[in-house]
Structure 1
Amino acid sequence: MTILHHLDQTTLLRYASGDLDEAFSVVVAAHLAMCDECRRELRIAEDIGGRLLEESEMATVSDGAFSRIMCRIDEAEASGETILAAPPIALRGGKQDVPSTLQRYIGTRLADISWKTVAPGVRRHKIALSTPTRSALYMLKIEPGKAVPEHGHGGTEMTLILSGAYRDALGRFGPGDLADLDEHVEHQPRVEPGEPCVCLVATEAPTRFKGIFSRLLQPLVGI
């Protein structure tokens, strides 16, 4: 698997510092499970952060601070929240084809996901989050040759390809590739022939479709 599209450096640093909400953290962790290069970059970011802490001036720590930190770690582990350590590679072929960091949300096999048709050739699976957030997390399954209407984004959007591939003005996106986009990007992905494209998507705001017909359908599509 050759991955051509990686995490933006700002996103990687935000993940390392715990500054991403659950929806985006899930997408980043799933990409890290598939991408050697970004795992190396994450370790570098964590090392730099550790050195900066070691070299910074000592500050007074309030009573009970250590206990609060340990409680926070216990809560995160109990809820399955991603901690800073880089996840292992999880795609081993065979029956399991879902990154380990994503399995508690959708199971171990893409074939077992229950889909809802939202438009011709487009199916969606909403993913429930354990923490309140304005962001949304969902799966898309788009049939071969199908083009998503041209659109932009009301905020940050991350799309991780789990199987299949699509092309747009930014290039080809195949398994493991991550489209880390902001509100300034407009594109029209078209799925390659041969097999459906299955994606994991996190969004801050609903998609902004350009065409009038597409905009009218957007509330029904729900992406």
Structure 2
Amino acid sequence: MKTTHHLDEATLLRYASGDLDSAFTIVVAAHLAMCDECRQAVRDAEEIGGHMMDHVDEAPVASDAFEKLMARLDTGENEQIEVDLRKNAQSDSDVPLPLRELIGEHLDDVSWRLVAPGVRKHEIRMGKKGESFLYMLNISPGMAVPEHGHGGAEMTLILSGAYRDKLGVFGPGDVADLDEHIEHQPIVEPGEACICLVATETPTRFKDLISRLMQPFVRI
């Protein structure tokens, strides 16, 4: 299936400059492993950035700059996760390469926890408190997720199956790069469960009362 939903240009630039936290970096890198178009866009952004660095005027550096840099490294501040952007070549794995170290080689091997009828979840711990959340969802065919919005950025990458909402149909490799202004109700296409990778800054903001009451237990 051809990728039709891509990353926002601002997201690609932030990724190329190392300005995303680990959860969003993993989702972006996994999408890049599945999308030739966005992968080339990142290469172009990195090339432009390198050219600009080669021609920028030198700026004065404070005498204590090195000590401050080392202190930030010691505390892990602004740490960027290393990812491999190679395409999924010559492998029988159905998991994008940047995600394999976190969940393994095959989607069938992921351990799921039932959080609601027709919805299973796998949490991926990034090991750094205060960062965005990263998890996977496995949603049954024909299942409608309650209508919801987002308190901040949310990025969803489809790994298997498909869903549709007012933004269109999202299949394998497609990514929904959303902000706090978008409200939608994904409905999984018939015939196959939809497995997706999600990074979010804040918990989902459900509209109906029952979903809001269940949210502390579901933790989506």
Verify same fold: TM over 0.5.
Answer: yes
Paired position in structure 2 for 1:88: 86
1:113 aligns with one of 93, 102, 110? 110
Deviations along 1:95-146, one digit per CA (max 9) or x if unpaired, are x110110011101110000000000000000001033333100000000000
Structure 1 pair 106–80 and aligned structure 2 pair: CA distance change class (3 A): farther
Partner AA of 1:115 in structure 2? W
1:91 and 1:99 in contact (8 A); partners too: no
Distance 1:155 1:185 in 2: 10
Give yes or no for the alignment of 1:28 onto 2:28.
Answer: yes
1:82 Cα deviation from its structure 2 partner: 2.2
**Matches of 2:90 and 2:216 in 1, distance apart?**
38
Task: Report Cα offsets for 1:193-222 as digits up to 9, x if no partner.
Answer: 111000000000000111111111111111
In structure 2, the partner of 1:137 is 134
Contact 1:91 1:97 in 2 (8 A): no
Cα root mean square deviation, aligned: 2.5
SS at match of 1:48: helix
Q: How far did 1:59 drift?
A: 2.8
% identity of equivalent residues: 61
**How far apart, in 2, do the equivalents of 1:206 and 1:44 lie?**
33
Please list every run of 5 or more consecutive structure 2 residues that lacks an aligned counterpart in the other structure. Answer: none
Counterpart position of 1:52 = 52
Counterpart for residue 3 of structure 1 = 3
Distance 2:121 2:104 in 1: 16
CA 1:80–1:182 in 2, change beyond 3 Å: closer, same or farther? closer
Whether the 8 Å CA contact 1:91–1:98 is kept in 2: the answer is no
User: Does the 8 A contact of 2:146 with 2:206 survive in 1?
Assistant: yes
Please list, as runs of the form range in 1=range in 2, the aligned pairs for 1:172-183 lying within 5 A after superposition: 172-183=169-180
Larger displacement relative to structure 2 (51-60 or 119-128)? 51-60
Opposite residue 15 of structure 1, the aligned amino acid is Y
Structure 1 residues 101 and 37: CA distance shift in structure 2, 3 A? same
Map of 1:104 onto structure 2: 101
Deviation at 1:92, TM superposition (A): 5.2
1:61-72 correspondence to structure 2 within 5 Å: none
Counterpart contact for 2:22–2:80, Cα < 8 Å: no
Deviation at 1:64, TM superposition (A): 10
User: Which whole-Å CA distance do the structure 1 matches of 2:193 and 2:64 have between them?
Assistant: 52
Displacement over 6 Å in runs of 4+: 62-66
Q: Which amino acid aligns with 1:90?
A: N
1:213 equivalenced with 2:207 (yes/no): no
For 1:188, the equivalent position in structure 2 comes to: 185
Name the SS of the counterpart of 2:135 in structure 1: strand
Q: Is the 8 A contact 1:164 1:198 kept in 2?
A: yes
| Corresponding residue SS for 1:162 | strand
Look up the equivalent residue of 1:137 and give its one-letter code.
L
Tell me which amino acid in the other structure corresponds to 2:2: T
SS in 2 for 1:58: coil
Once residues 5 and 182 of structure 2 are traced to their aligned partners in structure 1, the CA distance between those partners, rounded to angstroms, is 15
User: Aligned with 2:169: secondary structure?
Assistant: strand
TM-score calculated relative to the size of structure 1: 0.88
Residues 34 and 91, structure 1, Cα contact 8 Å, conserved in 2: no
Deviation (angstroms), 1:47: 1.1
- Please give the alpha-carbon distance, in whole angstroms, between the structure 2 residues aligned to 1:111 and 1:91: 20
